[in-house]
């Protein structure tokens, strides 16, 4: 049987792992003991994934403010979806969390790296089991895949609080970070739950600026995590799913619009400059809205209140937000097969050329 580590040795080892994580590129590192997941819904409880885990390491990766600049200006949209979203989620974060795990496994303890693997999860955005998706492998177990709520795990590990927008707000970056997790059998020194100055003041800037009205101003969800009561605005996931891609349903339902491939009833909303939704970047990156409500408006609010410890030379918001005028969109005679992809070579395809000619691209 392994000898129990002394308190000092545990603290020193925890410090070493945190330093290693930061040297690898993590911006924030916090640790939750596994009993902070007590009360989690079965389908979201990581203890079903690694029953002998003792610690959850939450690792935060900042979304660079510069990644959002092009959308603020209205001139360069792909950067947030790639560098701020898909690139962190599918490239940078996996490399860092896997390398932290390598360090821990070299010490003889299992370590499980976790990022955004939610495509295989058994529950949908509302927490209901997906129809005909998967079944428990034996009685008493949840259906695969269990989905751990990354932001709530980060809260449990002391990284910050949950804002009205349901975003994790940290004193360093506000809502602008992504979270990766490591579950390990190594018993590490836990961090306290965040108890610093309140970050969300319920200003509702996120509600007002969300292009899909996806965040309720009045209805809320209340949960208890690690013995703390949390509350956030009810999120309409379907409304977010449509609006964050820069889409809305046709204002005039008798007209057809093909903004989202495979639909006949979608058109661009006021925050999309695209005639058709551009291709995904890095598998999931298609945040045309640039998180205008839940992230950008929140940064503006936090900055005005001087609530963030990380300071910049110039304010994030430098001018009034723009809005695209799409009046007359349904008269443009667009085609259902006009999606041109994201590369210059695809623009050369005959199909794309034909559509561009048809769409009166110069009229707006």
Residues that bind ligand SF4 (CB under 6 A): 163-165, 200-206, 210-212, 214-215, 240, 243-244, 289, 291-294, 297-298, 301
Residues ≥6 apart with Cβ < 8 Å to 185: 50, 52, 53, 54, 109, 110, 111
Minimum CB distance to ligand SF4, residue 243 (Å): 4
CB of 106 to ligand SF4, least distance (A): 39
State the nearest-atom distance from the C-beta of 66 to ligand SF4, in Å. 19
Query: What's the min distance (Å) between Cβ of 293 and ligand SF4?
Result: 3
CB of 205 to ligand SF4, least distance (A): 4
* Residue with the shortest CB distance to ligand SF4: 163
In terms of CB distance, is 17 or 169 closer to ligand SF4?
169
Nearer to ligand SF4, 182 or 205 (CB): 205
Nearer to ligand SF4, 267 or 355 (CB): 267
Beta strand pairing call for 257-258 and 265-268: parallel
Q: Can you read off the two tokens belonging to residue 332?
A: 């443009």
- Cα 326 from Cα 335, distance rounded (Å): 16
Rg (CA), the chain: 22
Min separation Cβ 99 and ligand SF4, Å: 30
Tokens 């496994």 -> residue: 105
Q: Give the residue with the Cβ less far from ligand SF4, 142 or 171.
A: 171
C-alpha distances (whole Å) from 17 to each of 6, 26, 210 are 17, 11, 38
Query: Distances in Å between the alpha carbon of 325 and those of 25, 237, 248, 298, 328?
Result: 41, 25, 14, 25, 9
Q: Are 151 and 181 in contact (CB under 8 A)?
A: no
């Amino acid at each position: 049987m392994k000898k129990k580590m002394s308190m000092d040795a545990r603290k020193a080892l925890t410090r070493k792992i945190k330093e290693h994580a930061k040297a690898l590129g993590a911006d924030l590192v916090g640790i939750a003991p596994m009993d902070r997941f007590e009360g989690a819904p079965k389908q979201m409880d990581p203890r079903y994934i690694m029953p002998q885990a003792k610690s959850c390491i939450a690792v935060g990766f900042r979304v660079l403010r510069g990644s959002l600049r092009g959308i603020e200006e209205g001139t360069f949209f792909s950067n947030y979806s790639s560098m701020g979203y898909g690139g962190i989620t599918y490239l940078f974060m996996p490399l860092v969390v896997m390398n932290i795990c390598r360090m821990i496994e070299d010490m003889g303890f299992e370590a499980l790296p976790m990022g955004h693997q939610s495509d295989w999860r058994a529950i949908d955005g509302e927490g209901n089991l997906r129809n005909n998706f998967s079944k428990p492998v034996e009685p008493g177990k949840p259906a695969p895949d269990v989905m751990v709520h990354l932001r709530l795990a980060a809260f449990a590990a002391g990284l910050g609080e949950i804002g009205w927008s349901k975003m994790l707000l940290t004193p360093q970056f506000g809502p602008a970070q992504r979270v990766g997790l490591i579950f390990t059998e190594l018993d590490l020194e836990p961090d306290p739950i965040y108890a610093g100055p309140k970050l969300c003041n319920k200003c509702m800037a996120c509600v007002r600026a969300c292009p899909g009205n996806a965040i309720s101003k009045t209805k809320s969800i209340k949960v208890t995590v690690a013995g703390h009561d949390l509350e956030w605005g009810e999120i309409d996931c379907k409304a977010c799913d449509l609006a964050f891609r820069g889409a809305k349903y046709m204002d005039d339902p008798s007209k057809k619009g093909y903004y989202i491939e495979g639909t006949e009833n979608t058109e661009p909303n006021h925050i999309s400059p695209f005639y058709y939704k551009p291709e995904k970047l890095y598998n999931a990156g298609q945040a045309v809205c640039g998180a205008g409500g839940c992230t950008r408006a929140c940064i503006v609010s936090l900055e005005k209140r001087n609530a963030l410890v990380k300071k910049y030379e110039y304010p994030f918001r430098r001018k009034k937000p723009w809005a695209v005028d799409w009046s007359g969109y349904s008269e443009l005679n667009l085609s259902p097969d006009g999606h041109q992809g994201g590369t210059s070579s695809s623009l050369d395809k005959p199909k794309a050329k034909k559509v561009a000619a048809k769409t009166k691209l110069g009229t707006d």
